[in-house]
Structure 1
Amino acid sequence: MKIAQICPRYDPDIGGVETHVKEISERLVQKGHAVDVITTDPTGKLPEEEIINGVKVIRFRSFAPGNAYFLAPQIYSYLKKQKYDVVHAHSYHAFPAFFAALARPGNKFVFTPHYHRSGHTFFRNLLHKPYRLLGKIIFSRADTIICVSEFEKGLVTEDFNVSGKIEKIPNGINLAEFENLKSQRDERGGKTLLYVGRLEEYKGVQYIIQALPELPEFRIRIVGKGPYEEELHKLADQIGVSDRIEWLKGISREELLQCYASADVFLMLSKHEAYGITVAEALASGTPCIVARGSALDEFVDGVTCIGIEGSDIADKLVESICVLKNNKFEILENQDELMNWEVVTYKIITLYEK
């Protein structure tokens, strides 16, 4: 099959959607399919076209105020001239999927919305109401909608009345990568908290920093980059914990795996998640997690290997939860049995394409 994957950003950018598209695209190529990833580059610094691990990546310059929206109408013009067996668009929360839905140059149009209903900021949340009209067009034109969690499936069903077209296929992880890490878990030393992801206000990294004065034996390792990074640095300076924070970006996959393995607790306090790949990877590495309640992250919470916190005073509740976890001994993380390998995810998606 000739397949187009449409997404706001792609490798070397990082994030949940970026990881999802990269993992399935490269496996589709390995299985003999031709894959074009059609995406955007707000900076204009990345190659307009290149091959990454067999995947043809085509980038269009986009307008992305606040690192959002990724408005690139050139995607529509390009797709109108192409012909694909399947067009698979990703992310309700940016414009590339809308342009793909309008152009629809494939026999079949698949949509993975990674939907969490609200915007990441007050302003973006306001824009979501008029944008809902455009969103309905994407959902109405999709032959099949793939949701990555029961939480997302419930939101999509409630907001767009498309339950008959929904298939649930969760995000995956590379389970083989974590086999050796699990055996090393008991050998970790020190007290390290870990966050991996984009640095956006809604991700809640500020609460982790605010909790550090009450956790004198802990350091935090923050892996990622994003528009909220400067504010986080200022906060760390103001409360005097900068010397206990390690900021990492652009690290290799092997280095990231070691970060998971060496952490005592993984933290993800995001308010808006359709799945939570980094939480799944932390659990697979044998590291207990603390997450914010109220999104798809709820599905990882079991009260033992993954604790959920909610409401106000997040920093205080975080301190309490960390104290609980550091006194527990884990022989096995039961959630691992529920994690799906990317190979299985790709097989399910190919089956869907062929249907």
Structure 2
Amino acid sequence: MNILFVLEHYPPYIGGAETLFGMLAEQLADKGHRVRVITTRFRPDLPVREVRSGVSIQRINCGNRFLFSALAFPAAWRSARWADVIHTTTYNAAPPAWLAARLSGTRAVITFHEFWGDLWLQLPFLSRFQAWAFRVFERFVLNLPFDSYVAVSDFTARTLVQNGVKKEKVIRIYNGLNYDDFTGMEHRPKPGFHYTFFGRLGVSKGLDLLLPAAAELKKTHPQARLRLIIPRRPAAMLARINGMLDELNIRDVTEIHHELSDEDLRELLLTSSCVVIPSYSEGFCFAAAETVAMGIPVISSGRGALVETVGGQFLEMEEMSTVSLARLLRRAAAGDYDTKPIIRYTLRNSIAHYTNFYDQ
């Protein structure tokens, strides 16, 4: 089978979804399928074309993720008639992949990592215009008539159906982790209370709640420390976070870490008392699944797929508010957690489901 992936990012770009699709493409190639990937050239040192582990990769030069929607089309079109299936993901890679598939008559598949709908209008850090623009673009992508829609959780599958996708076109395939990476890890929190946020600087991640909650915790637990493990980009979002640290007078109780190696990241996580994930929504949440795999307690908003991926020791916000989160931080500082069974989402199962899906 000839399989064409049109993906906004692909390894060596670091991310859970990127790791999944990198291993999926290589596994397919190893099984004798012919695999091509069209993606962004996010670093100037990366070759425009290369073959890695049997996968033919073409990288598109574009400094803006939205430009990829236009600039990737010529490459996608040239490979479309070669392909038996074109597989893409939300959001910016979807339009060129769908158009190339439609014009060539090739089967088109999209993986939806999440769908927010009206939530866009409730999120912080966005202007009214930005919120509406993103909402309209998301709806545009959803309305593109793909042949199949892969949802990465039960929550995402339900959301797609509720928003008009035919149920028979939706298949749920969970994202997966390589649990061998977590073998031998031991949660050994430092003395005191160190609570950690790690992940991208997204408007949905609940940082507008976490930082004020940290200010509230400082009043009763002045020795507690917030760890922010975040990228430097988007620069505007990082500037807002730094501004909030000063406005709330919590810089003295906050550590900020950028661009850590995997080893350093896991060391900071394993020595944290807990990880905080106050997201407004999650379609799967690799951060939650990885934290649970390391045996670290989680404070979660409980929104979206977090009810599926969070297990072990946890606390769940009753409402999306600073008061609710601050209350849970105080409970966590006292070691007062709830528990529930842990569900494992293995990379092996995820890849097996995808390969079986292609063969249908």
TM-score, normalising length from structure 2?
0.83
> In the superposition, relative to structure 1, how do residues 195 and 133 fare at CA in structure 2: closer, same or farther (>3 Å)?
closer
Q: What is the 5 A alignment of 1:1-355?
A: 1-41=1-41, 47-51=47-51, 55-62=55-62, 64=64, 69-82=66-79, 83-91=82-90, 94-104=91-101, 107-118=106-117, 119=120, 121=126, 122-128=128-134, 130-131=136-137, 134-138=140-144, 140-142=145-147, 144-181=148-185, 184-186=186-188, 188-213=190-215, 214-215=217-218, 216-225=222-231, 226-227=233-234, 228-300=237-309, 305-312=313-320, 314-328=321-335, 334-336=340-342, 338-355=343-360
Distance 1:252 1:52 in 2: 22
Shift of 1:102: 1.0
Distance 1:283 1:243 in 2: 29
Shift of 1:6: 1.8
Give 5+ residue unaligned stretches, structure 2: none
Backbone CA RMSD of aligned residues = 2.9
> In the superposition, relative to structure 1, how do residues 295 and 33 fare at CA in structure 2: closer, same or farther (>3 Å)?
same
Distance 1:271 1:99 in 2: 29
Distance 2:306 2:61 in 1: 33
Distance 2:5 2:239 in 1: 33
> In the superposition, relative to structure 1, how do residues 42 and 176 fare at CA in structure 2: closer, same or farther (>3 Å)?
closer
Report if the CA contact (8 A) 2:94-2:141 is conserved: no
Identity %: 23
Distance 1:51 1:240 in 2: 51
Shift of 1:155: 1.0
Shift of 1:195: 1.5
The residue identity in structure 1 corresponding to 2:146 is R
The residue identity in structure 2 corresponding to 1:204 is G
Instruction: Report the secondary structure of 1:95's partner residue.
Output: coil
Report if the CA contact (8 A) 2:69-2:94 is conserved: no
Report if the CA contact (8 A) 1:98-1:134 is conserved: no
Shift of 1:55: 4.3
The residue identity in structure 1 corresponding to 2:212 is Q
Stretch moving more, 266-275 or 239-248: 239-248
Instruction: Report the secondary structure of 1:153's partner residue.
Output: helix
Shift of 1:47: 4.2
Shift of 1:149: 1.0
Q: Deviations over 1:208-231 (max 9, x none)?
A: 222223242322222231321111
Shift of 1:202: 2.3
> In the superposition, relative to structure 1, how do residues 31 and 278 fare at CA in structure 2: closer, same or farther (>3 Å)?
farther
Report if the CA contact (8 A) 1:283-1:335 is conserved: no
Q: Deviations over 1:261-308 (max 9, x none)?
A: 222111112213211111010011111111224322233456x72322
> In the superposition, relative to structure 1, how do residues 5 and 220 fare at CA in structure 2: closer, same or farther (>3 Å)?
farther
Report if the CA contact (8 A) 1:42-1:70 is conserved: no
Report if the CA contact (8 A) 1:116-1:274 is conserved: yes
Shift of 1:166: 1.3
What is the number of equivalent residue pairs in this alignment?
342
> In the superposition, relative to structure 1, how do residues 222 and 299 fare at CA in structure 2: closer, same or farther (>3 Å)?
same
Q: Deviations over 1:169-219 (max 9, x none)?
A: 1111121222211xx225654422111211123212243222223242322
Shift of 1:59: 2.4
Q: Deviations over 1:49-98 (max 9, x none)?
A: 3455654432223474xxx645432322112111123321111xx23211
Distance 2:211 2:38 in 1: 37
Shift of 1:113: 1.4
Distance 1:324 1:85 in 2: 54
